[in-house]
Amino acid sequence: MKQEELVKIFKSLKAILKKYEGSLKPKFDLDSKYDLWSFKDIEIEGRKRKEVYPDFVGLEPI
């Protein structure tokens, strides 16, 4: 794929993911990287966390 095609796909996916902002917040909201995080106190397998990165809400170039 050409770079311009990948950029177009990235922008399309970013627009879809932006709809989930609210309970999830971005750490990176750049033209080349975008992700969403949950900033809540949570316990996973006995380990306390203040933030969680759901694997399905991040975009990075390959």
On average, the pLDDT of the chain sits at 85
Would you say 50 and 39 are in contact if contact means Cβ atoms under 8 Å apart? Answer: yes
pLDDT value at residue 60:
65
Cα–Cα dist 27/35, whole Å = 6
Cα–Cα dist 58/26, whole Å = 9
Q: Is the pLDDT at 53 greater than 60, yes or no?
A: yes
Q: pLDDT tens-digit profile of 5-19?
A: 999 999 999 999 899
Question: In the chain, how many domains are there?
Answer: 1
Q: Which domain holds residue 18?
A: 3-59
Q: pLDDT tens-digit profile of 19-35?
A: 999 988 999 999 889 98
Interval 44-59 mean pLDDT: 77
Q: Is the pLDDT at 50 greater than 90, yes or no?
A: no
